Amino acid sequence: MAEKVVKVGLLGFGTVGTGVVRIVQGHQDDLVKQTGLGIEVHKILVKDKEKSRSINGLDNKITSDPYDIINDPDVDVIVEVIGGIHPTKEYILDALEQGKHIVTANKDLMALHGAEILAKAEEKGCDVFYEASVAGGIPILRALVEGFSSDRITKMMGIVNGTTNYIMTKMSQEGADYADVLKEAQALGYAEADPTSDVEGFDAARKMAILTTLGFRVPLKLDEVDVKGISSVSKEDIAYGKKLGYVIKLLGLARRDEDEVEVSVQPTMVHKDHPLASVNGVFNAVYVHGEAVGETMFYGPGAGELPTATAVVSDLVTIVKNMKLGVNGRGMVAPYKEKKLKDDSKKLSKYFLRLIVADKRGVLAQITQLLANKNISLDQVLQQPYNGGQQAEIIMVTHVAAKSDMNDVLLFLKDMDFITEIKSCYRVEGGE
Ligand SMILES: NC(=O)C1=CN([C@@H]2O[C@H](COP(=O)(O)OP(=O)(O)OC[C@H]3O[C@@H](n4cnc5c(N)ncnc54)[C@H](OP(=O)(O)O)[C@@H]3O)[C@@H](O)[C@H]2O)C=CC1
Ligand SMILES: N[C@@H](CC=O)C(=O)O
Ligand code: NA
């Protein structure tokens, strides 16, 4: 029997909220053994009280008045699983004002307003944990903050959006078009009716902003992440990538060199031998390189009722353990490193380039000369007839180049009369 019961105010009873109730109820014995305290979902906030719920017997706990929970002196911890910025931000700040600890799964809120929320928590001596906000059930934030606290992380790469990874995987495995796979993903409920946030990379950017702030301990802002989505990735890019040994993934990259950082989300050619290349379907993975530890990778479900709820309830357990020890509000480390962002001349990577050119003598030589002028050399080249042989399609993978140099080359190429079209240009990872 637990000596005391910690009372939770659950804001939101949708996919994740339902999972939280199931885990708190179903794993109660284990939770008590680990914390010495019981955990009870005391009240639940919903928007529509009339909606039927998949868990019965909780009607007396359900309310549609947030302040019935936020102002309840019996509630120790607020679990926010509503989503969005407003009114959740106000609910969380008001709950902190009342001295309540917070667990949230809300990446939008934490990526945009995390600093303000954490500052308020520090002022009030409260805990705020948000493990579910990045890569759902994978305990990656805990790994960065605790597991790697003794190391200096130099690089993180994440497949942190399940919807786009599903689309890229299907396009790659079936040679299908982007638009057809997107429709199928929507029918299966993986992609939303308005898929913009996922397919244009904004969801992944929010997660990379959170990973960077925690992993590099720098106060990164969301608009400092370079973002490009997958809507322009063609099945031809995927097929040529495959021929040269690569798969395309929507990849988040956070890299630190000599205390300067770069953070981006973009479709990237990942070499087939890199561990991230085999992360398929809706699965997520985060690759972390530390100066001391070397290479590590975390893999698992990035969403879903129970996987996401495990992350939420584990945060809850941490708060309950802190309550028992009387150390709430002391476990968080605010970003303490100065942020220096790299300019494009320091962003280094290999590139994949696909061009349609006039099929004339000397064209390839002129292209390689343009690249050489910017110190860019080639790793692989493939040439195919295009448009019945009237033109040629040239696909190349460069050696490592600066982003500024590659941008200059693209500008030069645009002006060349022998270039019909620059079809695509992608960053390349792995295959060294
Ligand atoms: N679903 C997933 O797999 C994952 C979700 N997350 C994050 O978890 C959070 C919740 O997601 P999810 O469970 O999928 O969302 P759902 O849409 O399934 O559930 C949202 C819940 O919030 C309630 N709600 C919505 N607006 C209000 C409001 N203004 N006032 C009171 N209650 C409100 C809804 O009430 P009602 O039931 O009455 O409509 C519903 O119960 C989001 O931040 C999301 O990004 C993170 C990782 C994975
Ligand atoms: N839309 C997200 C869900 C979790 O955050 C995804 O596709 O990964
Ligand atoms: Na997580």
Atom of ligand 1 nearest to the CA of 82: 22
Q: CB of 17 closer than 6 A to ligand 1?
A: yes
Q: CB of 227 closer than 6 A to ligand 1?
A: no
Looking at the domain covering 140-301, what would its CATH class be? alpha beta
Task: Could you list the beta-strand ranges (E) of 106-220.
Answer: 128-129, 153-159
Paired strand residues for 284: 300
Phi-psi region for residue 111, left (φ > 0), alpha (ψ -120 to 50) or beta? alpha
Q: Mean pLDDT for the chain? A: 97
Check whether 18 is labelled as a binding-site residue.
yes
Asked about 207 being catalytic, the answer comes back as yes
- Closest ligand to C-alpha of residue 284 is 2
What percent of the chain is modeled with pLDDT above 90? Answer: 97
* pLDDT surpassing 90 at residue 333: no
Q: CB of 183 closer than 6 A to ligand 1?
A: no
Q: Among residues 11, 12, 44, 38, which one has the least CA distance to residue 25?
A: 38
Question: Which residues are CB-neighbours of 405 under 8 A, at least 6 positions away?
Answer: 345, 374, 375, 376
* pLDDT surpassing 70 at residue 203: yes
Check whether 15 is labelled as a binding-site residue.
yes
* pLDDT surpassing 80 at residue 331: no
pLDDT band at 3 (very low <50, low <70, confident <90, very high): confident
Average pLDDT over residues 229-251: 98
Please give the model's pTM, rounded to 2 decimal places.
Answer: 0.97
Can you give the C-alpha Rg of the chain in angstroms? 24
Q: 3-class DSSP state for residue 196?
A: helix
Average pLDDT over residues 6-30: 98
Check whether 13 is labelled as a binding-site residue.
yes
Atom of ligand 2 nearest to the CA of 303: 4
Average pLDDT over residues 146-170: 98
pLDDT band at 430 (very low <50, low <70, confident <90, very high): very high
pLDDT band at 2 (very low <50, low <70, confident <90, very high): low
Catalytic residue among 207, 249, 350, 403: 207
Average pLDDT over residues 35-47: 97
Atom of ligand 1 nearest to the CA of 16: 13
> How confident is the model at residue 330, as a pLDDT?
85
> How confident is the model at residue 62, as a pLDDT?
98
Instruction: Please report, for the chain, the start and end positions of each structural domain, with discontinuous segments joined by +.
Output: 5-136+305-325, 140-301, 344-429
Give CA–CA dist 413/83, Å, rounded.
45
Q: Which CATH superfamily is domain 344-429 in?
A: ACT domain (3.30.70.260)
Question: Which residues are CB-neighbours of 214 under 8 A, at least 6 positions away?
Answer: 141, 144, 145
CA of 153 relative to ligand 3 center, distance in Å: 18
Looking at the domain covering 5-136+305-325, what would its CATH class be? alpha beta
Q: Which two tokens stand for residue 429?
A: 């990872």
Check whether 155 is labelled as a binding-site residue.
no
- Closest ligand to C-alpha of residue 310 is 3
Percent of residues in the chain assigned helix, strand, coil, to nearest 5: 40, 25, 35
Q: CB of 302 closer than 6 A to ligand 2?
A: yes
> How confident is the model at residue 133, as a pLDDT?
98
Average pLDDT over residues 147-163: 97
Q: CB of 162 closer than 6 A to ligand 2?
A: yes
pLDDT band at 183 (very low <50, low <70, confident <90, very high): very high
* pLDDT surpassing 80 at residue 282: yes
Give CA–CA dist 148/83, Å, rounded.
29
